[in-house]
Amino acid sequence: MTSDVVFQQNFAIHGGDFVNAGESSCKIRIILKEIGVDAEIIRRVAIAAYEAEMNVVMYAELGKMHFMVTPKKIHLTIEDKGQGIENIELAMQPGYSTATEEMREMGFGAGMGLPNIRKNADVFNISSIVGKGTTLKLTFELNGKQN
């Protein structure tokens, strides 16, 4: 473990705000490109960040994304205040979704967000308290690549 921080930033995410949704993950993609991170890793981080961000927009009231790059890893923590998830195992299943009709009309609700986040992150941690909120902790290895 190294304590060196190459870059870090916090992003606020607002529940129900479909207009600005996706902005944080878009900025993260730009920052990683500027740092010179491998394109395949950028792709994985951007997918995970976007899906996590959209889940806050759709199912929580307020969230914070903490993005940190060290020489060896990218850390993403997405913490929200909201309804939380009652059954995490169920929520993790591909195809499971509680998205509303309105969200489905916007193209969300395939129930693939969480499975995709898990697939793309090297380390995936989810915890949730019903009525309080949900926290996702993700790590991506830079595998010694220059950054």
Ligand X SMILES: Nc1ncnc2c1ncn2[C@@H]1O[C@H](COP(=O)(O)OP(=O)(O)OP(=O)(O)O)[C@@H](O)[C@H]1O
Residues in touch with ligand X (CB under 6 A): 51, 55-56, 58-60, 80, 82-85, 91, 96-99, 108-115, 134
Burial (CB count within 10 angstroms: exposed 0-12, middle 13-18, buried 19+), residue 109: middle
CB of 75 to Mg ion, least distance (A): 21
CB of 73 to ligand X, least distance (A): 23
Minimum CB distance to Mg ion smaller for 55 or for 120: 55
Q: Which of ligand X, Mg ion, none sits in contact with 91, Cβ below 5 to 8 A by type? A: ligand X
Distance of CA 103 to the CA centre of its chain: 18
Minimum CB distance to Mg ion smaller for 102 or for 141: 102
Residues 85-124 that bind Mg ion (CB under 5 A): 113
Quote the Cα angle for 100-106-109, to 5°: 50
Contact 66, 80 (CB under 8 A): no
Minimum CB distance to ligand X smaller for 33 or for 132: 132
User: With b meaning 16 or more CB within 10 Å and e meaning fewer, what string describes 50-66?
Assistant: bbbbbbbbbbbebbbbe
What residues make contact with Mg ion under the rule CB under 5 A?
55, 113
